[in-house]
Amino acid sequence: METTNNNKTVVHTFTLEKLGCSGCANSVERILNKMDGVIKATATFKPSAATVEYNPDIVSPTDMRTAVQNGGYDMIIN
């Protein structure tokens, strides 16, 4: 098990793509919230966006994008 004493977190809002309804937003939220390093993620359909609080020492936006893409959606890193 990896431990860290670093409490540094970042909050960023990412644009989401390929969402068809609010259920898709819930799916993206679940995908992100189960990732190591993600403290809290909330996603909405309109606008299609995810606000994520995360520890950048553990997880990167690229990791999140890959996970979201594996779920059939897409996330823009901006």
Do residues 38 and 52 lie in contact, with contact meaning Cβ atoms separated by under 8 Å?
Answer: yes
Q: What angle do CA 77, 60, 63 make, to 5 degrees?
A: 80
Asked if residue 49 binds Cu ion (CB under 5 A), the reply is: no
Residue by residue, DSSP assigns 41-73 as EEEETTTTEEEEEE-TTT--HHHHHHHHHHTT-
Total number of residues binding Cu ion (CB under 5 A)? 4
Asked if residue 23 binds Cu ion (CB under 5 A), the reply is: yes
**Least separation, in Å, of the C-beta of 69 and Cu ion?**
16
Residue from 10, 21, 76, 77 binding Cu ion (CB under 5 A): 21
Asked if residue 20 binds Cu ion (CB under 5 A), the reply is: yes
The binding site for Cu ion (CB under 5 A) comprises 20-21, 23-24
